[in-house]
Chain A
Amino acid sequence: MPVALLILAGCELLGEVIRAACHLPIPGPVIGMFVLAAALGLRTGLTGQKKTPAPLKPAAETLIANMGLLFVPAGVGIIAQFGLIRHQWLPISAALLGSTVLSLGVTGLVMHKLLLLNHRRLAARAGTIQPHPPADCANRNPLP
Chain B
Amino acid sequence: MTTALNALWTPLSSTPLLWLVVTLAAYVAGRWVQSLCGGSPYASPVLIAIILVGCGLVVTGTSYTTYFAGAQFINFLLGPVTVALAVPLAENFGLVWRNLTSIGLALLAGSLTSVISGIGLVWALGGTRDVALSMAPKAVTTPIAMAVSEQIGGVPALTAALAILGGILAAIIGRQMLRQFQIEDLRAHGLAAGVAGSGIAAAQIAAIDETGAAFAALGIGLNGVLTAIFVPVLIALWR
List the interface of chain A (C-beta within 8 A of B): 5, 8-9, 11-12, 15, 25-30, 32-37, 40-41, 44, 52, 56-57, 59-61, 63-65, 67-81, 84-85, 88, 90-92, 94-112, 114-115, 118
Q: Mark B169-201, 1 if CB is under 8 A from A, else 0.
A: 110011001100101010111011101110110
Does B60 make an interface contact (CB < 8 A)?
Answer: no
Query: Smallest Cβ distance from B109 to chain A, in angstroms?
Result: 5
- Contacts A37-B89, A67-B202 known; A95 to B135 CB distance under 8 Å? yes
Give the B interface residue count (CB, 8 A). Answer: 119
| Complex contacts, B27 vs chain A, CB 8 Å | 68-69, 72
| Complex contacts, B157 vs chain A, CB 8 Å | 77, 80-81
Does B211 make an interface contact (CB < 8 A)?
Answer: no
| Complex contacts, B221 vs chain A, CB 8 Å | 30, 33-34
Which residue, A75, A80, A107, has most C-beta atoms of chain B within 10 A? A107
| Complex contacts, A35 vs chain B, CB 8 Å | 86
- Contacts A103-B114, A114-B102 known; A91 to B144 CB distance under 8 Å? no
Does B82 make an interface contact (CB < 8 A)?
Answer: yes
Instruction: Report whether over half of chain A's contact residues are helix, strand or loop; otherwise say mixed.
Output: helix
Query: Smallest Cβ distance from B44 to chain A, in angstroms?
Result: 8
Q: How far is the CA of A142 from the CA of B225 in the complex (A)?
A: 58
In the assembled complex, 12 residue pairs joining A and B whose CB atoms fall closer than 8 Å, in A order, are: A8-B84, A9-B79, A26-B225, A33-B86, A56-B87, A64-B206, A74-B75, A92-B127, A104-B193, A111-B102, A111-B185, A112-B178
A-B contact sample (17 more), CB < 8 A, given A75-B49, A104-B174: A12-B80, A25-B147, A25-B151, A26-B224, A59-B84, A60-B84, A60-B87, A67-B206, A70-B75, A70-B77, A72-B53, A88-B131, A101-B177, A109-B181, A109-B183, A115-B102, A115-B188
Evaluate contact between A33 and B82: CB separation under 8 angstroms. yes
Q: How far is the CA of A78 from the CA of B155 in the complex (A)?
A: 13
Q: How far is the CA of A29 from the CA of B169 in the complex (A)?
A: 24
Residue in B72, B90, B126, B148 whose CB lies within 8 Å of A41: B90
Evaluate contact between A64 and B135: CB separation under 8 angstroms. no
| Complex contacts, A11 vs chain B, CB 8 Å | 83, 86
Evaluate contact between A78 and B121: CB separation under 8 angstroms. no
| Complex contacts, A68 vs chain B, CB 8 Å | 27, 44-46, 200, 203-204
Evaluate contact between A95 and B125: CB separation under 8 angstroms. yes
Q: Mark B57-99, 1 if CB is under 8 A from A, else 0.
A: 1100000100110011011011111111111111101000011
Q: How far is the CA of A56 from the CA of B82 in the complex (A)?
A: 14
Which partner residue on chain A sits nearest B71 by CB separation? Answer: A73
